[in-house]
Amino acid sequence: MITGTKFRICRRLGPGVFEKCQTPKFAASVARRSRKSDKRPKQPTEFGMQLLEKQKIRFTYGIKERQFSNYVKEATAKGGANAATRLYETIESRLDNVVYRLGLAHTRPLARQMVSHGHFVVNGKKSTVPSHLVKVGDIIKVREGSKGKALFASVAAKAKEYTPPEWLKFDSEKLEAKVAGKSKNSENFLDFSTVLEFYSR
């Protein structure tokens, strides 16, 4: 049931929203539906396109509407042309997203759960808040009491096949990471500028 729900969301917003949709199974389901349907899809309005972009970001990062709107307000408070960049950097700096970007969890929902269960410390203090925003220079570690758990048993082996983004420096042996810079939006799937236009209405 959960897979079916996610598949419906991905057919509406795009396969990049959930990792589960970036599979041959999802591609096959889309192909089957397209063969069965002979209806031409309606052209979305400008408002509709902006709404879809907002929903893409919310579902991709697993953020609730109120929290997301607060991120937008903070990003636009300073004005200027860099609001979209600030919004992206803020969302990327969430602790659950950092855990995901480090390759310690294969999905953001799992990363969020791992943080909630207290498996990580930030600058020496345990954090159970997935939305905690890390800053440049912060040190994120797997809690000593969690290192022996099955969740982290194969991290060193997986690290050989995965490279975290440049703004995160990760020591797979120590299970320790440092925020070395600001994240860069190199993906074309999410349009943060369009989302700001939606909230400026």
φ/ψ of 127, rounded to 5, equals: -125, 130
- Percent of the chain past pLDDT 90, that is, above it, reads 55
Exposed, middle or buried by CB within 10 Å (0-12, 13-18, 19+), for 99? buried
> CA 156, 181, 185 angle in degrees (round to 5)?
90
Q: Quick check: 96 and 108 in contact, CB under 8 A? A: yes
The structural domains of the chain, with segments of one domain joined by +, span: 94-179
Q: Which residues contact 178 (CB under 8 A, 6 or more apart)?
A: 137, 138, 139, 140, 168, 169
Per the DSSP assignment, residues forming a β-bridge with 108 are none
> What pLDDT was estimated at residue 46?
84
Region 108-116: what's the mean pLDDT? 95
Q: Quick check: 104 and 119 in contact, CB under 8 A? A: no
pLDDT, tens only, 44-58: 788 888 888 899 899
pLDDT band at 3 (very low <50, low <70, confident <90, very high): very low
Q: What is the DSSP string of 106-148?
A: SSHHHHHHHHHTT-EEETTEEE--TTPBP-TT-EEEE-GGGTT
> What pLDDT was estimated at residue 1?
29
> What pLDDT was estimated at residue 28?
67
pLDDT, tens only, 19-28: 767 767 666 6
Superfamily of chain region 94-179: RNA-binding S4 domain (3.10.290.10)
What residue type is 62 in one-letter code?
G
> What pLDDT was estimated at residue 177?
97
Lowest mean pLDDT segment, chosen from 53-57, 65-69, 91-95: 53-57
The DSSP output letter for 108 is H
Stated pTM of the model: 0.81
φ/ψ of 14, rounded to 5, equals: 120, 150
Reading the block at residue 19, the tokens are 């990792």
pLDDT at 184 over 90: no
Q: For the chain, give me the number of helices (H) and strands (E)?
A: 9, 5
Q: Which residues contact 179 (CB under 8 A, 6 or more apart)?
A: 93, 98, 134, 135, 136, 137, 138, 139, 140, 167, 168
Q: How far apart are CA 136 and CA 39, in angstroms?
A: 50
pLDDT at 33 over 70: no
Coil, helix or strand at residue 79: coil
* Average pLDDT over all residues of the chain: 86
> What pLDDT was estimated at residue 2?
43
Q: Quick check: 59 and 13 in contact, CB under 8 A? A: yes
pLDDT at 120 over 50: yes
